[in-house]
Amino acid sequence: MTDRNPRSAEPPPRPGEPADLPPDVPVEFAAFCELHRPRYLSYARVWLPERAEAAAAVQQAFAEIAVHWRELLGSSNPTAHAWQILRGTVAERTRHPVPAAPDRHPADDDLAILHYVVGLAAPEIADVIGTDTASVAGRLRRTMLREASGW
């Protein structure tokens, strides 16, 4: 999968950066982190423009995910649960949260951010938040129509 907006993608972590994982982590967790770190960082950078602060938020989220890793793996949708942990971690660090409009759901705002700002296509968004592509595409269409009707 490729980002439509390569400028929003974060470079891979350099050795010694907080993103390094201890050598004894489960291989599944290491793979999960490697797969999701760039997109999680891009999302966090929307809300936390300081690169170090966004990286710290993502690292904190991965630390929490690691604590609950076995429990998450036993859940019906580990990726969705991990996404909620990331969202919560980023929200805790946001100084001035932007409330959703009364007729909007914050998760729809996340989809719009991931699509229009980060540059992910619907299948990539579905992979990141742990849902199906059709649901993401439909919600993006509804969000776009809602916005267009307000013009």
SS3 state at 48: coil
In a domain, 97, yes or no: yes
In a domain, 29, yes or no: yes
| Residues in the chain, pLDDT under 70 | 1-21, 96-104, 150-151
Contact predicate 143/104, CB 8 Å: yes
In a domain, 1, yes or no: no
Residue 9 main-chain phi, psi, to 5 deg = -75, 140
- Select from 119, 87, 83 the least CA-distant residue to 100: 87
- Pull the structure tokens for residue 71: 């429990």
Query: Residue 127 sits in which domain range?
Result: 6-149
In a domain, 92, yes or no: yes
pLDDT tens track for 71-86:
999 999 999 999 999 9
- Pull the structure tokens for residue 30: 């290491």
In a domain, 13, yes or no: yes
The sign of the dihedral angle between the CA atoms of 90, 98, 141, 4 is negative
Contact predicate 71/65, CB 8 Å: no
Please state the pTM of the whole predicted model: 0.78
In a domain, 21, yes or no: yes
pLDDT for position 56 = 97
Q: Supply the CATH number for residue 143's domain.
A: 1.20.140
- Select from 57, 34, 32 the least CA-distant residue to 44: 57
Q: How many domains does the chain have?
A: 1
Say how far apart CA 96 and CA 75 lie, in whole Å.
32
At 33, which amino acid appears?
Answer: C
pLDDT tens track for 6-30:
444 444 454 334 456 677 788 999 9
